[in-house]
Structure 1
């Protein structure tokens, strides 16, 4: 592994969140085969437009690079072309920022042609302004001036720009052709009338492991298992599998690319076709690593991406994975599961079935006047129609789930208490 120094500047975030994001950046470095041997942090009121960090801190970084023979510096902050150029010139190192790091990981992990195209498009859009700046900056360092030299520089720059833009255009055409096939498959899925469920969540929360656990419960063949590994962005491609409930009913389960905080906009744009599987789902299963200390932070990051792709209004079931690694279970808004021990997997399937195949019952009830608060509770979960007031209480018609029906069965017309 290549040795790197990780640098981060905090201008406004809380200490806890900043520490979590730096830790995440370290994991991004590891995913790129970089070994972080030193972390340098600085608090500033605002980022230095020339070098990101302050001048004194940059001298410290330069000395560290010389003493430790470091050739690569990774910045947690996204850098402008000017900042990258200035830092590289002073420290005599290759300089990368967080977005560049994520793009490198995506380039390494992309397995299907569609993911490869989307990643390359995002990288080209990211590199274009840096390429242009590098060309201009190189001319200045060489002392290029005057009409003659400027003309040559502009011609060289224009050729580079056109080459990149031509490549992006060709990639768009190839992606469109691939998406035609994807749309055919999508139409076939819709025609099947099977509910669609998407696994979403922070990268490395265990979505692929959960999909495989659900497939094993379904006695799936080995070749239906999806790729899983304990690393960031192990999954970039959307996998879809048919899963059967114990009742015999079926649904389509999608495994999607994981999210990180502040996912670069170019990546969201490039992966819109992949993320579209989320928008088309009937419900979302949001997977958390229950052993993480930053679950709330991960949820904010996930919801941020859902808002950007306009999928934040879909029904969501929270699943807390890796429960075998924790002692306390403090969350009561979802299900705890372990893909290692299979704890909670069958219960999860039941909950998904309730969401995509809701069973309802219609019943008439007489609610005693002393228990009228029950009607307000019913209105939150069921359809309630007022019929009339009687001596014993208020007669209503309720369309509700099986679970709710069991709770109010004692009020049902026809029961002994009527």
Structure 2
């Protein structure tokens, strides 16, 4: 029986994690959860799984707090979160928190040498220079649970001999605007941007998918997680979202990971670590499959150039790109900028900063703050 701490338990990825745990209840104990503002979902989780500890960084209504405390120990401070994650009884930490907000929890888990399952790509993008050496030093095992990187993880196998790898291909659904000419993206509505063709996700990652910035972040994350040069990572549009990534080896063999779009598949694979876990899933009907592939849509080249610059520059470049994107997406969600202006905010913010080395986790937070301030200035200048 392994003890799990699930961060971001009330989100869409958190719910997929809970579904995997439900189907393997004899193998795992939900020791603790962390959530943001979805108190009703937190109550349901606490009643069903009865975790020993519940963390929330938000202000909770006193009546709700009493109800949670009747089941679990409720934690609220940053030090509480650190102690929960680094508790000696905890075997696996799952980071399903969206955005840069998940960085500190990832840092706490890696610092204590835990096995961490990461859906929070932003923490790797922003702080890869800090987290990856720390993981090596602390013998922390990082296993990705977003579908693309878990697919790479599976295709590489246990040997992970990068000398045998010729190329890694990350697939993209293309989002709802893959056939929309770039000069027409300024007319995109918020409702259209939130209507993803194949995946049901939170609003931030749905917009990232629509802009294809999500694939830029995934390229950077793959560069860090697998130590693969960006020159050996390709992005290809695959509208069916059946093949999640592929690895081509130096002998010409290409291994792909396929499944119907379902986050429970990579989560189950990661939770199993060395043995696959059984879950309910929709089988692929190969006789009806019609798989197609396309290049990245015209007009999005510059954003991918910036992502490849991040891979090569390292240092503070990832935290700046990520912060600019988060500010821009939030501005679009609040109807302050046009969809197409998300790209402008990222490019202009990124161009403003010189590349600098990251020495501590505090450096990451400092550059994140600086980049957000400048991105807000850019937003004011475009309107």
| Bigger radius of gyration | 1
**TM-score interval (norm. to shorter):** under 0.3
More strand, by proportion: 1
- In the superposition, the TM-score normalised over structure 2's length comes to 0.28
